[in-house]
């Protein structure tokens, strides 16, 4: 194994925190990874990793070496791909994670158009609303719709959507139409569990973002299900515009509390940290940004 290969292997093990996980991702035996790291430590004359039964941790020498390896590998990859890809169409594989509803409604047509335009790029798409670690799962890109990014996220903003408060005309006829977010306390509300606290919703009131307590009658981790429940008269829900639009168009739900908007949600392209972004991934991000603009 040459010096660059050894660096790449060390970075992979350090990021995954496990010999076994690195071996599985690379498709080799765990003993191969263990032997290569031991050989690297012998060559450097320093212990890079402290091994325990649960997880690997970097020594101070290992942490310093990791940062230098990342810089070197990024420079090598940037130099090689820059020359190889100059003037060429994007090619290669892209593994990406996509939110379920937004991915199917807004992103799928753009992704299929990208695939048609660049047939030498193979897209491997995973539609899920779960929070993922790009490095641990070997992903090149993730698209997330969120109000707040996590600390350390490396992201490019692609667009935005807005939250709408929805109810069926039949429900409003039976229970009355709330004129202020504070009146939601007297109504059954349908909570999105992936949003965190389902017992309060946020609205802009007098220019300030405030949390309003709500009484939850039904919860789910899928906005389409909750909007369908609202259309059946089971309560009030708060959903992003891309989910609400077809229900509003058919008249099954109407927007309420329009004078008190919910927080804007940003659409972000998340990237693995400390990695060179390949030409094919940059091309895909640009394509999505143009399509969502």
Q: Are residues 117 and 251 in the same domain?
A: no
Do 200 and 212 lie in one domain? The reply is yes
Q: Are residues 113 and 151 in the same domain?
A: yes
Q: How many domains does the chain have?
A: 3
CATH number of the domain that residue 76 is part of? 1.10.10.10
Domain co-membership, 155 together with 132: yes
* pLDDT, greater one: 251 or 147: 251
Enclosing domain of residue 183: 163-263
Q: Are residues 214 and 282 in the same domain?
A: no
Whether this model's pTM surpasses 0.75: no
Q: Are residues 42 and 121 in the same domain?
A: no
Same domain flag for 137 and 191:
no
| Final residue before a domain boundary, out of 65, 85, 105 | 85
* Residue 289 DSSP label: H
3-class DSSP assignment, residue 91: coil
Q: Where are the alpha helices (DSSP H) in 86-233?
A: 100-102, 108-117, 169-175, 223-231
Contacts of residue 74, Cβ cutoff 8 Å, sequence gap at least 6: 274, 275, 276
**Measuring CA to CA, which residue among 265, 1, 247 is closest to residue 145?**
265
Please tell me whether residues 17 and 48 are part of one structural domain.
yes
- The model's pLDDT over 115-174, given as tens digits with 9 standing for 90+, comes to 999 999 999 999 988 878 887 788 899 999 988 777 777 888 999 999 999 999 999 999
Strand 236-240 versus strand 188-192 pairing type: parallel
Is 286 found in the same domain as 251? no
For residues 114 and 98, is the Cβ–Cβ distance under 8 A? no
Provide the angle, in degrees to the nearest 10, between the axes of the packed helices 30-44 and 3-16: 120
Share of the chain above pLDDT 70, in %: 93
d(CA 230, CA 222): 13
CA distance 229 to 225: 6
- Give me the CATH number covering residue 140: 3.40.190.10
- Same-domain check for residues 278 and 141: yes
């Amino acid at each position: 194994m040459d010096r660059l290969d050894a660096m790449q292997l060390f970075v992979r093990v350090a990021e995954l925190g496990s010999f076994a996980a690195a071996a599985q991702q690379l498709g080799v035996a765990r003993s191969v990874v263990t032997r290569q790291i031991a050989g690297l430590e012998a060559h450097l004359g320093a212990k890079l990793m402290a091994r325990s039964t649960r997880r690997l941790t970097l020594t101070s020498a290992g942490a310093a070496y990791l940062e230098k390896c990342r810089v070197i590998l990024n420079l090598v990859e940037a130099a090689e791909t820059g020359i190889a890809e100059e003037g060429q169409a994007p090619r290669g594989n892209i593994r990406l994670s996509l939110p379920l509803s937004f991915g199917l409604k807004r992103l799928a047509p753009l992704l299929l158009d990208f695939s048609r335009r660049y047939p030498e790029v193979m897209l491997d798409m995973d539609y899920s609303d779960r929070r993922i670690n790009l490095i641990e799962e070997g992903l090149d890109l993730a698209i997330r719709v969120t109000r707040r990014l996590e600390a350390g996220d490396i992201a490019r903003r692609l667009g935005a959507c807005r939250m709408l408060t929805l109810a069926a005309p039949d429900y409003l006829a039976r229970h009355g139409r709330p004129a202020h977010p504070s009146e939601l306390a007297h109504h059954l509300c349908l909570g999105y569990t992936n949003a965190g606290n389902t017992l309060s919703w946020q609205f802009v009131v007098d220019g300030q973002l405030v949390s309003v307590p709500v009484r939850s009658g039904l919860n789910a981790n899928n906005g389409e299900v909750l909007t369908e429940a609202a259309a059946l008269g089971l309560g009030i829900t708060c959903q992003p515009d891309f989910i609400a639009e077809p229900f509003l168009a058919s008249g099954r739900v109407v927007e309420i509390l329009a004078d008190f908007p919910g927080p804007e949600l940003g659409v972000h392209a998340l990237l693995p940290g400390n990695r060179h972004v390949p030409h094919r991934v940059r091309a895909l991000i640009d394509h999505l940004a143009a399509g969502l603009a």
